[in-house]
Amino acid sequence: MKTLAILNGPNLDRLGKREPEIYGHATLADLEARLRAEFDGVARLEFFQSNHEGELVDRISVLADAKIDGIVINGAALTHTSVALRDALAGSGLRAVEVHISNIYKREEFRQKSLTAPVCVAVITGLGLEGYFAAVRFLLR
């Protein structure tokens, strides 16, 4: 059975409360429960969320050392600003899929550039929470 990590960056702990017209009404706990229910018995899913760049970088290092099978990452705002997050993903040796709930290409110009996308095997944007499910299915193939 494969082990996958689902990493979420800044403010994703506020899902369901923060800008529901963009991110919807489901909470991060709702998403985690839905993912567990969908992939129970198929994959081991580990969840981690932080509002702090260094904690996400540290977590990627731990996951690389554990030699898990892949990462689904929504780096949130750090996607567009963090060279450290990009370098952690690049140096991990792990397959990563970048996920965005909203379509970043329909948003502000600064959100349309991802520093982490070039070191990921795929990017899923604009599918809402379904993007996480698609990313997990892709990594399980």
Marked catalytic residue, from 52, 100, 105, 132: 100
User: Is 23 considered catalytic here?
Assistant: yes
105 in catalytic set: no
Question: Which of 23, 25, 52, 105 is flagged as catalytic?
Answer: 23
Q: What sign results for the dihedral spanned by CA atoms 109, 139, 7, 18?
A: positive
Q: Identify the DSSP state of 100.
A: E
66: phi > 0 → left, psi -120 to 50 → alpha, else beta; which?
alpha
In angstroms, the CA 73 to CA 12 distance is 11
Catalytic residues: 23, 100
